[in-house]
Structure 1
Amino acid sequence: MKFRRELAYEAGPDEVFAMLADPAFREKVARAQGVVSVDVTITPTASGFTMVSDQVQDTAGLPAIARKITGDTTRAVVREEWSDATSGTIEITAPGKPTTASGTASLVPGSGGTTYVQELEVTVKVPLVGGKLEKVMADNIDGGLSAEHAVGTAWLRGER
Structure 2
Amino acid sequence: MPRSFDMATDYDGSVEHVHRAFGDERYWLARLADSGADETTLDALTVTGDGGIDVVTTQILRADRLPGLVSQFHRGDLRIRREERWQPIRDGLADGTVEGSIPGAPVSLSGTAKLATTDSGSRLTVHITVEVRVPLVGGKIESFIGRQLVDLLTAEQRFTSVWISDHA
Normalising by structure 1, we get a TM-score of 0.91
| 1:22 paired to 2:24 | yes
Q: Which runs of 5+ in 1 are unaligned?
A: none
| 1:136 paired to 2:139 | no
Match of 2:78 in 1: 74
Query: In 2, distance between residues paired with 1:60 and 1:113?
Result: 40
Q: 1:70 to 1:26 in 2, by over 3 A?
A: farther
- Matched AA of 1:27: L
Contact residue 29 and residue 147 of structure 1 kept, 8 A: no
- Matched AA of 1:120: I
Query: In 1, distance between residues paired with 2:142 and 2:64?
Result: 17
User: Superposition pairs for residues 34-113 of structure 1, below 5 Å?
Assistant: 34-40=36-42, 41-45=44-48, 46-58=50-62, 60=64, 62-85=66-89, 86-113=94-121
Q: Which runs of 5+ in 2 are unaligned?
A: none
Secondary structure of 1:120's match? strand
Report the aligned-residue RMSD.
1.8
Match of 2:135 in 1: 127
Secondary structure of 2:157's match? helix
Over the matched positions of the two proteins, sequence identity in percent amounts to: 26
Q: Deviations over 1:21-59 (max 9, x none)?
A: 222222222232211111112111233011001121245
Which portions of structure 1, spanning 4 or more consecutive aligned residues, are displaced by more than 3 angstroms?
A: 58-63
Query: In 1, distance between residues paired with 2:64 and 2:33?
Result: 16
- Matched AA of 1:124: V
- Matched AA of 1:43: T
Corresponding pairs, count: 160
Normalising by structure 2, we get a TM-score of 0.87
Secondary structure of 1:29's match? helix
Give 1:76 shift.
0.6
- Residues 97-106 or 51-60, more deviating: 51-60
Secondary structure of 1:69's match? coil
Query: In 2, distance between residues paired with 1:68 and 1:108?
Result: 40
Secondary structure of 2:55's match? strand
